Structure 1
């Protein structure tokens, strides 16, 4: 059906497509998956359709993450300018897929023109902060009242990772 743009041992990555709406809606309507997301959980397939369309129009790199060999859509990873964002279905948390996806995505960025990757993370999202720290992201700032999530107003921890020096 679709071919991978890049892959790892367990994951394939390709452009998001409208056929992915049901899979992404399952994730984006899940309160746990969107607990630290910058928008409330989706309530309609139409919202998810619009989200995929807008992501495709605004992201520098934006990819669906597929689980091999079934090609089930299990998440997304992308960049808006220098800012990395990712989402993984909660039923797959703790299995190393986020680490595997981020490692390969950063390789892709460093193979290109990127010199820095940034992240804007809700300070309560300890799982995400731990993952980014393992890759060497460093805190460069903090702000309060930056997003309204379904849990209320939250702040941001700003992180940065510089492109590794060539050896």
Structure 2
């Protein structure tokens, strides 16, 4: 898997040394508020998630650790093509870092992997994520109720898609 560099970030393959930093993010209720699982209580939960990132079969997906100023601050990628997913330490929210990371991930998915489209499943309460994806050119295709059981709470989904043919325009306006 390649390493991607942007103006402020390094997106690289995840490694076992990322466990503590990733757990510091995934144990935070604020970071995990709209994730598909509750916050991680144990390091073992995060280790299992990290192992999944590191062992994606080539050609099935690509998930990157995000580094900013030499520190791992999140993850972005396509765990399984064509589904995009991302999480960022809340200490770094609101600075355009995830937009920067996703721009690089999306460009690679279309140019290198030849994906015809990328799709997202977002909790409708996650307005920041919905706005981010809209700025990147994603469009809503459907909504469904009670799609994820997170802990003891049923959550809904907004489904979005970005077609490769729309990406150059989205890139110019993002």
Once residues 48 and 153 of structure 1 are traced to their aligned partners in structure 2, the CA distance between those partners, rounded to angstroms, is 22
Once residues 42 and 77 of structure 1 are traced to their aligned partners in structure 2, the CA distance between those partners, rounded to angstroms, is 18
Alignment of 1:61 onto 2:59: no
Query: Residue 150 of structure 1: CA displacement?
Result: 4.6
The answer for unaligned runs of 5 or more in structure 2 is 170-174
Equivalences for 1:71-86 in 2 at 5 Å? 71-79=70-78, 80-86=80-86
Query: Residue 153 of structure 1: CA displacement?
Result: 1.0
- The equivalent residue for 2:7 is 9
Equivalences for 1:52-131 in 2 at 5 Å? 52-58=50-56, 60-68=61-69, 71-79=70-78, 80-112=80-112, 113-131=114-132
- RMSD over aligned Cα atoms: 1.7
Query: Residue 21 of structure 1: CA displacement?
Result: 0.5
Aligned length: 162
Contact 2:77–2:102 under 8 Å retained in 1: no
Partner-residue secondary structure (3-state), 2:165: coil
Provide TM-score, normalisation by structure 2: 0.88
CA-to-aligned-CA distance 1:4-47 (integer Å, 9 cap, x gap) = 71110100011111110000000000000000000011011111
Partner-residue secondary structure (3-state), 1:53: helix
Alignment of 1:20 onto 2:21: no
- The equivalent residue for 2:43 is 45
Partner-residue secondary structure (3-state), 1:153: strand
- The equivalent residue for 2:165 is 164
Provide TM-score, normalisation by structure 1: 0.91
- The equivalent residue for 2:138 is 137
Once residues 111 and 152 of structure 2 are traced to their aligned partners in structure 1, the CA distance between those partners, rounded to angstroms, is 38
The answer for unaligned runs of 5 or more in structure 1 is none
Q: Cα 1:106–1:146, aligned 2, differ >3 Å: closer, same or farther?
A: same
Query: Residue 151 of structure 1: CA displacement?
Result: 7.4
- Runs of 4+ that moved beyond 4 A: none
Query: Residue 111 of structure 1: CA displacement?
Result: 1.0
Once residues 27 and 151 of structure 1 are traced to their aligned partners in structure 2, the CA distance between those partners, rounded to angstroms, is 21
